[in-house]
Amino acid sequence: MCGIAGLIHRGKSSNVGSELQGMLQALKHRGEDSTGYALYGDTDGKNFIMRFKVGENVGEGSSSVMEDVSVYDERKKIVDQTLSEMGAKIIKEERTLPYSLRYEVDYETKDLLDFSQRIESIPGVEILSMGKSLEVIKDLGNAKMVCDRYSLDKLVGTHAIGHARMATESGVDIKSAHPFWGYPFSDVSVVHNGQLTNYWNNRRVLENKGMRFMSECDSELIAVYIAQKMREGASLEEGMKDSLTGLDGVFTYFVATKDSLGMAKDTMAAKPLVLYESDDLVAMGSEEIAIRSVLPHEIDTYDPFDGEVKVWQI
Amino acid sequence: MANIKTSEKKSKAQSMGMHTEVLTGRTQQKFFNPDEAENFYYFGTYDVDFNKRTDLDVMNMSAPEANKEIDNLMSQGYGTIVIKNPQGKHSLGVGILNKLNLIFEGSLGYFGMGSCDGPIVRINGRVGWSCAENLMAGKVVIEKNAGSCFGAAIRGGDLICKGSVGARTGIDMKGGTIIIGGDAGAFTGFMMQRGRIIILGDVGINLGDSMYDGTIFVGGEIGSYGSDAVDAELTSSDQDWLRRKLKVAEIGEDFDVSKMKKIVAGKKLWNYDNLEPTEKKGAI
The answer to whether position B48 is within a domain reads yes
Tell me what the mean pLDDT of segment A41-60 comes to. Answer: 90
Taking the Cβ of residue A249 and every Cβ of chain B, the question of whether any pair is shorter than 8 Å is answered with: no
Cα–Cα distance for residue pair B247/B255, rounded to 1 Å = 10
Quote the number of domains for chain B.
1
Residues 257-286 of A with CB under 8 A from B: 267-270, 272, 274
| pLDDT tens, residue by residue, A8-23 | 999 899 999 999 999 9
| Interacting residues of A71 by C-beta distance below 8 A, sequence separation 6+ | A54, A55, A124
When comparing pLDDT for B266 and B40, which is higher?
Answer: B266
What is the predicted pLDDT for the residue at A64?
A: 76
- DSSP of B212-258: -S-EEEESS-BS-B-TTEEEE---HHHHHHHHHHHHHTTS-TT--GG
What is the predicted pLDDT for the residue at B9?
A: 58
Tell me what the mean pLDDT of segment A149-163 comes to. Answer: 95
| pLDDT tens, residue by residue, A21-31 | 999 999 999 99
Residue A63 in this model has a pLDDT that exceeds 90: no
As for the ipTM of the complex, it is 0.81
Nearest to A288 among B107, B187, B205 (CB): B107
Residue A216 in this model has a pLDDT that exceeds 90: no
Tell me what the mean pLDDT of segment B262-276 comes to. Answer: 79
The answer to whether position B23 is within a domain reads no
CB B173 within 8 A of CB B153: yes
Residue B127 in this model has a pLDDT that exceeds 90: yes
Q: Is the CA virtual torsion B251, B256, B258, B261 positive or negative?
A: negative
CA distance A131 to chain B (A): 36
Which chain A positions have a beta carbon within 8 Å of B165's beta carbon? 303
Q: Which one-letter amino acid corresponds to residue A46?
A: K
The proportion of chain B whose per-residue pLDDT surpasses 90, expressed as a percent, equals 74
In the CATH scheme, what is the homologous superfamily, with its name and number, of domain A3-313?
Aminohydrolase, N-terminal nucleophile (Ntn) domain (3.60.20.10)
Query: Of A177, A150, A172, A183, nearest to A162 (Cα)?
Result: A177
Taking the Cβ of residue A302 and every Cβ of chain B, the question of whether any pair is shorter than 8 Å is answered with: yes
Q: Give alpha helix (H) positions in B18-104.
A: 63-75
Residue B5 in this model has a pLDDT that exceeds 60: no
What is the predicted pLDDT for the residue at B278?
A: 60
Nearest to A303 among B89, B90, B147 (CB): B147
CATH for B259:
2.160.20.60
Q: How many pairs of residues across A and B have Cβ atoms under 8 Å apart? A: 75
| pLDDT tens, residue by residue, A99-137 | 999 999 999 866 788 899 999 999 999 999 999 999 999
Residue B10 in this model has a pLDDT that exceeds 60: no
The proportion of chain A whose per-residue pLDDT surpasses 90, expressed as a percent, equals 76
Cα–Cα distance for residue pair A314/B128, rounded to 1 Å = 28
Tell me what the mean pLDDT of segment B128-140 comes to. Answer: 96
The answer to whether position B69 is within a domain reads yes
Contact A291 B89 (CB under 8 A): no
| pLDDT tens, residue by residue, B225-251 | 999 999 999 999 999 999 999 999 988
| pLDDT tens, residue by residue, A298-314 | 889 999 999 999 999 98
CB A196 within 8 A of CB A226: no
| pLDDT tens, residue by residue, A169-178 | 777 889 889 9
Contact A296 B88 (CB under 8 A): no
Phi, psi at residue A160, to the nearest 5°?
Answer: -165, 150
Nearest to A303 among B90, B124, B166 (CB): B166
Query: Of B99, B58, B105, nearest to B77 (Cα)?
Result: B99
Q: Is the CA virtual torsion B197, B198, B203, B207 positive or negative?
A: positive
Locate the domains of chain A by residue range.
3-313
| pLDDT tens, residue by residue, B196-215 | 999 999 999 999 999 999 99
Taking the Cβ of residue B187 and every Cβ of chain A, the question of whether any pair is shorter than 8 Å is answered with: yes
For the annotated catalytic residues of A, the residue numbers are 2
Contact B145 A272 (CB under 8 A): no
Average pLDDT for chain A: 92
Tell me what the mean pLDDT of segment B110-130 comes to. Answer: 95
Which chain A positions have a beta carbon within 8 Å of B105's beta carbon? 298
Query: Of A58, A37, A57, A41, nearest to A49 (Cα)?
Result: A41
List residues bridging with A37 in a β-sheet. A137, A162
| pLDDT tens, residue by residue, A233-272 | 999 999 999 999 999 999 999 999 999 999 999 998 899 9
| Interacting residues of A218 by C-beta distance below 8 A, sequence separation 6+ | A169, A170, A195, A196, A199, A249
| Interacting residues of A113 by C-beta distance below 8 A, sequence separation 6+ | A184, A210
Q: Could you list the residue range(s) of the whole structural domain that residue B252 is in?
A: 44-283
Nearest to B204 among A298, A301, A306 (CB): A306
Strand A157-165 and strand A34-41: the pairing is antiparallel
Q: Which of B105, B148, B149 is most worth mutating to test chain A (most A CB atoms within 10 A of its CB)?
A: B148
Contact B166 A296 (CB under 8 A): no
Collapsing DSSP states into helix, strand and coil, what is residue B201? coil
CA distance A267 to chain B (A): 8
The answer to whether position B32 is within a domain reads no
